[in-house]
Amino acid sequence: MSARLPQPNRLESGGIINRDRPVIFTFDRRVYQGFEGDSLASALLANGVKLFGRSFKYHRPRGILGAGPEEPNALVEVDHGPAERDPNHRATMLEIYEGLETFSQNHFGPLGMDVMEVNDLISRFLPAGFYYKTFFFGGLQAWYRLYEPIIRRAAGLGRPPLAADPHHYEKIYTHADTLIVGGGIAGLTTALSLAKAGQSVVVCEERDRMGGSALWQGETFDGQSGADYVNHLCAEIEAAGGRVLPRTTVFGVYDAGTFGAVERCHDHLAKADRRPHTARMKYHRIQARNIVYATGAIERSVGFKGNDRPGVMLASAGHTFLGKYGVRVGERATVFTTHDGGYGTAAALAQAGAAVTVLDARAEANVVIDGVTVIKGVYAKQAHGRMGLRRVDYDGASNGSLDTDSLLVAGGWNPAVHLTSHTTDRRQSKPVYDPEMLAFLPPELVETEAAAGSVTGAMSTADCLTSAQAAGKKLGGKAVALPTVASALPVSKPMEMWAVPGAGDAAFLDMQNDATVKDIKLSAQEGFKSVEHMKRYTTLGMATDQGKTANVTGLALLAAATGRDIAQVGTTTFRPPYTPIPVGALAGHHRQRDYEPFRYSPIHAWAEANGATFMEAGLWMRPAYYTRPGDKTWLDSAVRETKATRDSLGITDVSTLGKIDIQGPDAAEFLNRLYTNGWKTLPVGKARYGLMLREDGLVFDDGTTSRLADNHFYMTTTTAHAAGVMAHMEFMHQSAWPDLRVAFGSVTDQWGGLALAGPQARACLAKLFPDLDVTNDGLPFMGVLETQWNGFTARIFRISFSGELAYEVAVPADVFEAFWLEALRVGAEWDITPYGLEALNIMRIEKGHVTGAELDGRVSMDDVGLGKMVSTKKDFVGRAMSQRAAFADPDRAKMVGLVAAKPDDKIIGGGILFASADGPFDHTTMLGYVTSVAQYSPLKDRSIALAFIKNASDWHGKTLYVVSHVHGKSIMEVHAESPHFYDPKNEKVMS
Amino acid sequence: MLIPCPHCGLRPSEEFTPKGLAEAPRPVIGGADLPEDATWQDYLHTRTNRAGDTDEYFHHALGCRSWVVVHRNTLTHEVYGATMASEFWAQKNQQPEQETGQ
Ligand SMILES: [Zn+2]
């Protein structure tokens, strides 16, 4: 424990801070001491700090306005290094801890001398809409050179962190019968009533502890202090199985009883006290049948000149600092009130030893407090003191000036109805204005909702408790005995005074956005009379605080300026989130490496250990190439692998292909309807290449499907479309053909697969399966055999993607690595060479086989040269639409092969095809585009490509030019030919 | 949003993939099979996009893999219920044609 340092504004007793636990922290590099339980605001106020930051637009010096989440002014940065720089913490919500380092924001130069304060001096030239109007002058050049750089520098609140967030965030589902938002005395009482009736309840309180105003108002409950009574309530709720979550903000109400909440688990703890690997924040997705809005009310200020001076704050804030934190915000305090409630604050301050004067806007007010001077029928006209309040002028029934160091404004209460308007769509109603209470109240609530406490408009603690009892009853709670409240707090409805007579500029409504009374009048004058237009024109209510202290006053003034009732003007729509929440909390663990899961082949570890470089294919990690001694580049590896395969024997992992097992008496009929070609005549033990269309006639996917038995098929899909094909099959079966007797499931993860390719593939296969007849007669092209390998099922398919004599062999995934190693051992005789996707790509381009690069969702069967694969005797998905006239248009681009004219040229993927090297190279002369490129083809000894071009076959043998507009418009000469460069007669695969 | 999957019960919408409005059954085999046919055009492209009560296909992709037709109101977000896609059109054909007021 460190020594106690003097804290000039801290009282010797009172509050619920722990004076035995001093806490050292810094603000703008100066060291201060507060106590455990302090907020940054209370601790700095205790130390006599008044200036907390600068305003956004005019850079006016600002202090503290509120004491809770509504605070618009005192935004600070917490800075513990580049990755942990976290801007826009409300000083009123930030709990201090040992070692906390904080900084004020939004100023250029020291906080006390901000060069941008010039904006304040010229503020009458910077009215609402200034930016919209001004930037018309000077045109675009002026925008780029002059305005934009200035705005960019001046815009934004705080500085972002400079490195990735090192914290840990969690998402959890939280279930309850009833969610209670707000852990004040009303919320807790409602929760207890419901918990006692057997409901599971969760109470979320956004502040550091439960209790709300009971913690500072100085009332007693059955003789107990507010803090003690709150502890007693919480203990009872927990004993009845309920949960209370402090530091948890319910930020959104969504459909069907879904609520979003963020619990702050770490931000109040010293670094040493944060348990490693635990979450900084938890995002609760709460699912609850009922909701209780016990969100309280937010006090509002009154518009008068200088009402933003440091030292002017809400009466409830001054009262909170006194009651909760033992901090007296001033020695010579002035309370400006429009209702009896201000007197409670005045009395508390007087009792704490301050000299207090009350300016009561009402001519006839009759609250009398010992030792407090009351001036009736007057209002605060202007507050003076740029860096800290010194004097306040008042006017009205009398006028004069008071020397004062703190001005506490009690302008009335705005029930925190925000959450009740998040589901406006469902309820079809918005918060309603009550002209008696001068406040917006929650709309009529549905049967699963209730409201309790001051959000209902209840003013006294006793009324709040009664409303809590009613809320509990509505949702099926048990009656709870209400405590006897001993209160010395007078309450009354406020007098209507949104701004004082004559208020205009420098009478601030929205402190964070510097929107003034004058701006509202200007907005109305310029025709922005809808509340939504006014909001956007003046920016009132648009910053991080979303105008919690400002909105209602703004629209009341708009109503006055346009001669309407406040009810007619209505509110803007409140939307989630209620307060800003870090994106990290929403992302949870879904970031960086954990953003999506990875899928690995059964031989991934082997590939990693054997020089593979991987590429992502959807969620899969697939070997792109294997680096061997002598390979200088990836292309060296790919070309070496290609040559080895073409000359002798290659092996590749095809485990990632989608595999779907299809069974049932109607399995063949099902395939007939999914594929363009026919399947009923496919014999058992044979495979067939199949093409699927989308219902609009464009190509969807391709693959090979084998018949293992009469009613049993094994389908493969492309790696990329595996999930989509599965969902498509399920959709067609369930929505269109539920009568088909067929069942199917994905077996992608159940089978591992390898391909043996090259002239020695048969010899290798024969060695792997010595008892099997794998001759051309025993296992002809497109033949399928099911056999055993070491007691495990093995399926052998004689199919080829590479263009070589090839076999694909599938074995159960858990023995696949063993099988792969055995193939390598056996194949060593022929220098078996593992190849990756890059070599496969070279080989399939040489062969003219299409992949996703060609089947991009825009091509028809004809476009890719597969138009003959249509059975006209049957219906299939896409049949009708594939007959559209446009698909027969000869101008449609079709597939063509390209060969670079010069040996060293590398054709550029995505390049555009033109007939002439002279240009122009634009859409008027464009003929086609390149889809797939082999940077080097051993077959052609240069770069080749697949492309799409109009009148494709006419171009065979002719010269074209590839231009890439994103690669410096280089012009490359190429020769067009059939896309089937390699073995066009399929002699090798059939051999 | 919660979706009452007829197979799994009430589940969060994140487990489902939406496909679009279920306004017409797929034209039957051997019937309309030319692209000019209005039945096909309507099936593929025409959507009423009504604000209010709708029937929509959802795939319980992260659940039982059923395709379901969710009956809900796009204005109030109220979800009335869900039917297995495999039963939806048969049930609809059994019901007498109702006045929809379109
Ligand atoms: Zn389901």
Strands (E), B9-89: 9-12, 17-21, 53-59, 67-73, 79-84
Q: Which residue of B has its CA nearest to A254?
A: B1
Residue B32 scores a pLDDT above 60: no
Looking at A569, A593, A617, the residue that finishes a domain is: A593
| Residues A201 and A243: beta-carbon distance below 8 Å | yes
The residue-averaged pLDDT of A133-154 equals: 58
Query: Is residue A862 in some structural domain?
Result: no
From the DSSP assignment, how many helices (H) and strands (E) are in chain A?
A: 25, 51
Residue B60 Cα, ligand 1 centroid: separation in angstroms? 5
CB contact (8 A) between residue A255 and residue B1:
yes
| Residues A740 and A803: beta-carbon distance below 8 Å | no
Give how far the C-alpha of residue A363 lies from the chain's centroid of Cα atoms, to the nearest Å. 52
Nearest to A883 among B34, B75, B79 (CB): B34
Query: Is residue A859 in some structural domain?
Result: no
Q: Which residue of A has its CA nearest to B36?
A: A884
pLDDT in tens, A720-771: 899 999 999 999 999 999 999 999 999 999 999 999 999 999 999 999 999 9
Contacting residues of B for A883, CB less than 8 Å apart:
34-35
Note whether A136 and A197 are same-domain residues.
Answer: no
What is the predicted pLDDT for the residue at B102? 38
Query: Is residue A876 in some structural domain?
Result: no
What do you get for the CA distance between the two ends of chain B, in Å? 27
- Which residues of B make CB contacts under 8 Å with A? 1-2, 12, 17, 19, 22, 25-27, 29-30, 32-35, 37, 40, 43-44, 57, 59, 61, 65-67, 75-79, 84-90
> With an 8 Å Cβ cutoff, is A886 touching chain B?
no
Residue A283 scores a pLDDT above 60: yes
pLDDT in tens, A642-691: 999 999 999 999 999 999 999 999 999 999 999 999 999 999 999 999 99
The percentage of chain A sitting over the pLDDT mark of 90, rounded to a whole number, equals 74
d(CA A21, CA A34): 9
* Residue numbers of A between 257 and 316 with CB closer than 8 Å to B: 257-258, 287
Strand order in the sheet with A612-617: A599-600, A620-626, A612-617
What is the predicted pLDDT for the residue at A142? 63
Residues A91-110 as b or e (16 or more Cβ within 10 Å = b): bbbbbbbbebbbbbbbbeee
Which whole-number Å values give the CA distances from A900 to A89, A292, A803, A864, in the listed order? 60, 72, 21, 21
Note whether A765 and A725 are same-domain residues.
Answer: no
pLDDT in tens, A832-863: 999 999 999 999 999 999 988 999 999 999 99
Give how far the C-alpha of residue A722 lies from the chain's centroid of Cα atoms, to the nearest Å. 28
What is the predicted pLDDT for the residue at A865? 86
For chain B, domains (ranges, CATH) are 2-94 (3.30.2270.10)
Contacting residues of A for B87, CB less than 8 Å apart:
738
The residue-averaged pLDDT of A239-253 equals: 97
Q: Which residue of A has its CA nearest to B10?
A: A256
What is the predicted pLDDT for the residue at A536? 85
Strands (E), A158-257: 169-181, 201-204, 220-221, 224-225, 243-245, 248-254
The residue-averaged pLDDT of A408-419 equals: 95
CB contact (8 A) between residue A875 and residue B88:
no
Lowest mean pLDDT among A192-201, A260-269, A571-580, B22-31: B22-31
CATH (domain of A807): 3.30.1360.120
Lowest mean pLDDT among A75-89, A142-156, B62-76: A142-156
Residues with CB under 5 A from ligand 1 (ion): B 5, 7-8, 60, 63-64, 66
> With an 8 Å Cβ cutoff, is A889 touching chain B?
no
Note whether A546 and A587 are same-domain residues.
Answer: yes
d(CA A189, CA A204): 13
d(CA A356, CA A328): 12
Nearest to B86 among A426, A734, A885 (CB): A734
Residue A239 scores a pLDDT above 80: yes
CATH (domain of A670): 3.30.70.1400
Task: Report residue A889's pLDDT band, with 50, 70 and 90 as the boundaries.
Answer: confident
pLDDT in tens, B61-84: 999 999 999 999 988 888 999 999
pLDDT in tens, A933-972: 999 999 999 999 999 999 988 999 999 999 998 877 789 9
Note whether A422 and A293 are same-domain residues.
Answer: yes
Q: Which two tokens stand for residue A467?
A: 């409303």
Residue A116 scores a pLDDT above 90: no
Contacting residues of A for B37, CB less than 8 Å apart:
880
What is the total count of domains within chain A?
A: 7
CB contact (8 A) between residue B30 and residue A875:
yes
d(CA A812, CA A807): 17
A675 min Cα distance to partner chain B (Å):
14
Q: Name the residue with higher pLDDT: A916 or A548.
A: A916
What is the predicted pLDDT for the residue at B101? 39
Residue A254 Cα, ligand 1 centroid: separation in angstroms? 22
Residue B45 scores a pLDDT above 60: yes
What is the predicted pLDDT for the residue at B100? 45
pLDDT in tens, A449-495: 999 999 999 999 999 999 999 999 999 999 999 999 999 899 999 99
What is the predicted pLDDT for the residue at A146? 61
What is the predicted pLDDT for the residue at A135? 52
Residue B63 Cα, ligand 1 centroid: separation in angstroms? 5
Note whether A692 and A821 are same-domain residues.
Answer: no
The residue-averaged pLDDT of A39-58 equals: 92
Note whether A49 and A25 are same-domain residues.
Answer: yes
Residue A334: φ, ψ to 5° = -120, 135
How long, in residues, is chain A?
991
Q: Which residue of B has its CA nearest to A879?
A: B33
Strands (E), A28-147: 30-36, 53-54, 61-62, 75-79, 85-90, 100-104
**Domain span including residue A688:** 658-746
Note whether A293 and A431 are same-domain residues.
Answer: yes
What is the predicted pLDDT for the residue at A711? 97
Nearest to B76 among A426, A735, A879 (CB): A426
Looking at A486, A521, A536, the residue that finishes a domain is: A486
Q: Which of A278-282, A572-576, B34-38 has the highest mean pLDDT?
A: A278-282
Note whether A181 and A277 are same-domain residues.
Answer: yes
Nearest to A880 among B32, B85, B86 (CB): B32
A570 min Cα distance to partner chain B (Å):
21
CB contact (8 A) between residue A730 and residue B32:
no
Question: ipTM, 2 decimals?
Answer: 0.94
CB contact (8 A) between residue B44 and residue A673:
no
Task: Report residue A137's pLDDT band, with 50, 70 and 90 as the boundaries.
Answer: low
Q: Which two tokens stand for residue A654?
A: 């095809």
Note whether A767 and A908 are same-domain residues.
Answer: no
Looking at A364, A383, A411, the residue that finishes a domain is: A411
The percentage of chain A sitting over the pLDDT mark of 70, rounded to a whole number, equals 95
Residue A82 scores a pLDDT above 60: yes
Residue A9 scores a pLDDT above 90: yes
Lowest mean pLDDT among A227-231, A411-415, A493-497, A509-513: A509-513
Residue B13 Cα, ligand 1 centroid: separation in angstroms? 11
Query: Is residue A855 in some structural domain?
Result: no
Residue A87 scores a pLDDT above 60: yes
Q: Which residue of B has its CA nearest to A746?
A: B65
Instruction: Calculate the average pLDDT of chain A.
Output: 92
Query: Is residue A482 in some structural domain?
Result: yes
